Amino acid sequence: MPGPSRQARTIRLPGREVAYLLSRSRRRTLALSVGATGVRVNVPYWVTLKEIENFIHERADWLQEVLDRREAAQATRLADGSTVWYLGQALKLRCFPGLFEEVRRVRHELWVSGMAEATTELIADWLRQRAARVLPRRATRYGARLGRACEAGLMTGTSRWGSCTARGRIRLNWQLIGAPLWIIDYVAAHEAAHLVHLDHSPRFWAQVEALHPRWREARDWLKEHGGKLMTGDTP
Ligand SMILES: [Zn+2]
């Protein structure tokens, strides 16, 4: 009898990509849960991937609701004077109450107009839009350097920074947009190196080193400051 196996996977639900940890064991039923480390799906050995994905799709509404609530609860409530991290820079938030919603970056400040209650959401949207423009491009660039095509996008609902599948789908956590570019590039290079080696073998790390020589320093930076990026606190 094989021991329990674990595998990191992603699934596309309406409007978002959700990362989950798939665990196979001697259990008899399928279970979906959201814990401190992210989404988990526990299944018996004999269940096919198609059945697992159907199982998640049937519970998609519930799952999206839980993830939305969790993200909102984790996000620090932002207000006038708060610090917002963007590409490693501390931007000071300036709030101008009004009906017209707008976020504008003015040198080292971020000006937001709108209803005060909407501030956190407006800033999160602004950051997510920028993440969508910056993050996937960095991964495809590293992929191209390795001569590998990949399809890169953002992910949410996980405590992981990135993922890469055997089929060349790279996902980066949008909250990385708060980190300096050389940190983003480490995660992008790490996932791109998985296009060649789907493990963390010495050969894999040699590939990362070739793409991003400061990888150790970047990994340490993420260990030290990463948790704060995830919760929206000041790193
Ligand atoms: Zn990895």
For residue 185, the CA-to-ligand 1 centroid distance in Å is: 14
Whether the pLDDT of residue 9 is over 70: the answer is yes
The pLDDT value given to residue 231: 56
Predicted TM-score (pTM) of the model is 0.70
When pLDDT is averaged across residues 28-50 and rounded to a whole number, the result is: 91
Q: Provide the CA 149 distance to its chain's centre, in angstroms.
A: 21
For residue 98, the CA-to-ligand 1 centroid distance in Å is: 45
Confidence of residue 234 (pLDDT cuts 50, 70, 90): very low
What CA–CA distance (Å, rounded) separates 211 from 186? 8
Whether the pLDDT of residue 69 is over 70: the answer is yes
Confidence of residue 101 (pLDDT cuts 50, 70, 90): confident
Closest CA to 50 of 93, 2, 104, 11: 11
What CA–CA distance (Å, rounded) separates 195 from 47? 27
The pLDDT value given to residue 130: 95
When pLDDT is averaged across residues 130-155 and rounded to a whole number, the result is: 96
Say what the alpha-carbon torsion angle 120, 121, 124, 126 is, to the nearest 10 degrees. -110
For residue 9, the CA-to-ligand 1 centroid distance in Å is: 13
For residue 209, the CA-to-ligand 1 centroid distance in Å is: 13
For residue 96, the CA-to-ligand 1 centroid distance in Å is: 42
The pLDDT value given to residue 230: 67
Whether the pLDDT of residue 233 is over 60: the answer is no
The pLDDT value given to residue 7: 87
For residue 111, the CA-to-ligand 1 centroid distance in Å is: 37
For residue 199, the CA-to-ligand 1 centroid distance in Å is: 7
The pLDDT value given to residue 2: 56
Between helix 181-193 and helix 215-231 the angle, nearest 10°, is 110
The pLDDT value given to residue 36: 74
Could you tell me what percent of the chain has a pLDDT over 70?
94
Instruction: Indicate the domain borders of the chain.
Output: 5-74, 83-231
| Residue 118, both tokens | 């909407």
For residue 204, the CA-to-ligand 1 centroid distance in Å is: 9
For residue 127, the CA-to-ligand 1 centroid distance in Å is: 25
Whether the pLDDT of residue 86 is over 90: the answer is yes
When pLDDT is averaged across residues 87-103 and rounded to a whole number, the result is: 89
When pLDDT is averaged across residues 86-105 and rounded to a whole number, the result is: 90
Return the higher-pLDDT residue of 74 and 208: 208
For residue 100, the CA-to-ligand 1 centroid distance in Å is: 43
For residue 41, the CA-to-ligand 1 centroid distance in Å is: 20
For residue 197, the CA-to-ligand 1 centroid distance in Å is: 9
Q: Which tens digit of pLDDT belongs to each residue from 143-195?
A: 999 999 999 999 886 778 999 999 999 999 999 999 999 999 999 999 999 99
Which architecture does CATH list for 83-231? Answer: 2-Layer Sandwich (3.30)
The pLDDT value given to residue 191: 97
For residue 136, the CA-to-ligand 1 centroid distance in Å is: 16
When pLDDT is averaged across residues 87-113 and rounded to a whole number, the result is: 91
For residue 205, the CA-to-ligand 1 centroid distance in Å is: 9
Q: Average model confidence (pLDDT) for the chain?
A: 89
Return the higher-pLDDT residue of 114 and 181: 181
